[in-house]
Amino acid sequence: MGANTFGEIFTVTTCGESHGPALACIIDNCPPGVAIDEALIQRELDRRRPGSTRFGTPRNEADAVRIISGVFEGKTTGTPIGLIIENTSQRSQDYSEIMHSYRPGHADYTYNLKYGIRDYRGGGRASARETAMRVAAGAIAKAVLTQHYGVKIGGCVTAIGTIYTDRFDPAAALESPFNFADNSKTMQAVLTEYIDNLRVSHDSCGAIIEVRAHGVPVGTGSPVFGRLDATLAHAMMSINAVKGVEIGDGFALARKLGSEARDLIDESGFKSNHCGGILGGIATGQEIVVRMAFKPTSSIMTPGQSVDQYGHCIPDLVTKGRHDPCVGIRAVPIAEAMMALTILDAIMLDTAQCHLVPRAQMYHIPV
């Protein structure tokens, strides 16, 4: 399976460079009979699209998606779904300076060494623009999850640089220009000042995003290498700039005692969810909770020391182009999309193997 395909059954294969003609994806094994149209996909894309908020990149892309196959009279047919987005706002001349240079913190060097050639314009395939297709495919996965399985997925930014919140509130995040879980006036002011300062100082910052899935059927997931924690970690860590992933209480569990960390159960159900809804790699029926850390955007106007492909030093390389001061801000729909793809795939695998297990007749721990 290629590195540009995700999933075992519900598979998504993507292609496209930042400044190439178009982005596309093909989704295979989508269940038939699901109501899908371009508007449904577009709504998710609009949450991610550049130009939608003044706190993101000024590059303005319509990101208009076209369905080219697999949907007939408003329903999925079970055949592969092709999606395409034409690139319209390329300003490749911004990048001619870095044709031979390696921007620090970027994939320029690693692509060049790996492939011996690279499309340097806007980072080519390494650009976060690639994630548009994840969001588009995720919109379809979400539709299947909602229409067939009653699973709901939502997420929000919970930290931007040093500013963080303990809240988890996807509804608030939808209203927030920062997709932040706390959309209070006070927090808006704090974040606005924080980001504006970053712009002035030609710098950027990292972020933390939390996403949750509600209603995932108990039994979803697999043991060993296919653990749901593992596939979720894979999914999230494959998003540009993500450098850490945790499930449930995550790293905090390392410092806890067993007597604190295990989730006890009484007649009213699970009494806590430290495990993030997954035990032994398999969903407990509780909310599935994933958190991930984004590194700060490496593309900043502050000069940095680097080299070119011939080994010449560049003492003050400046990364031009139109960039987000915090890539995490626009990444909530991407993380949600990856969660939707992962969970739907796990549900389909579980169905394949275990659909004859009489789960409806078995005792379910309340959640």
- Type of residue found at 366: P
Q: Which of 176, 294, 332, 335 binds its own copies (CB under 8 A)?
A: 294
Estimate to the nearest angstrom the gap between the alpha carbon of 362 and the chain centroid. Answer: 35
Please give the size of the binding site for its own copies, defined by CB under 8 A: 162
Tell which positions 165-184 bind its own copies, by CB under 8 A: none
- The answer to whether the CB of 76 falls within 8 A of the CB of 30 is yes
Shortest reach from residue 338's CB to its own copies, in Å: 9
352 touches its own copies by CB under 8 A:
yes
Q: Kindly write down the DSSP assignment for every residue of 5-64, as one continuous string.
A: EE-SSSEEEEE--TTSSEEEEEEESPPTT-B--HHHHHHHHHHH-TTSSTTS-S------
Question: Site map for its own copies, 86-115, x if CB under 8 A?
Answer: ----------------x-xxxx-xxxxxxx
Residue 309 in the binding site for its own copies (CB under 8 A): yes
The nearer residue to its own copies, 69 or 171, going by C-beta atoms, is 69
CB nearer to its own copies: give 185 or 254: 254
d(CA 96, CA 59): 17
The distance of closest approach from Cβ of residue 137 to its own copies in the complex, given in angstroms and rounded to an integer, is 11
Which of 143, 191, 297, 336 binds its own copies (CB under 8 A)? It is 297
**Contact status: 306 vs its own copies (CB under 8 A):** yes
Confirm or reject binding of residue 32 to its own copies (CB under 8 A).
Answer: yes
Q: Chain-centre distance of CA 312, in angstroms?
A: 36
With binding defined as CB under 8 A, does residue 155 bind its own copies? Answer: no
The footprint of its own copies on residues 197-226 (CB under 8 A) is 198, 203-208, 218-219, 221-226
Backbone angles phi, psi at 18, to 5 degrees: -55, -45
Q: Tokens 């996965």 appear where? A: 141
Q: Which is nearer to its own copies, 53 or 351 (CB)?
A: 351
Residue whose CB is less far from its own copies, 52 or 79: 79
320 contact partners, CB below 8 Å, separation of at least 6: 94, 95, 97, 98, 301
Q: How are beta strands 313-317 and 304-308 bridged, if at all?
A: antiparallel
Site for its own copies in 229-288 (CB under 8 A): 229-238, 242-267, 271, 274-276, 278-284
Is 192 among the residues that bind its own copies (CB under 8 A)? no
CB contact set of 144 (below 8 Å; sequence gap of 6+) = 10, 30, 31, 34, 344
> Does the protein bind its own copies through residue 61 (CB under 8 A)?
no
**Segment interacting with its own copies, rule: CB under 8 A, options 38-46, 77-85, 166-174, 185-193:** 77-85
Interface pick for its own copies out of 152, 304, 322, 367 (rule CB under 8 A) = 304
Contact call for residue 55 and its own copies (CB under 8 A): no
Count, residues in the chain? 367
CA 299 to centroid of chain Cα atoms:
20
Give φ, ψ of 346 to 5 degrees. Answer: -65, -40
Closer by beta carbon to its own copies, 58 or else 171: 58
The distance of closest approach from Cβ of residue 51 to its own copies in the complex, given in angstroms and rounded to an integer, is 21
Q: Residue 55: is it exposed, middle or buried by C-beta count within 10 angstroms (0-12/13-18/19+)? A: buried
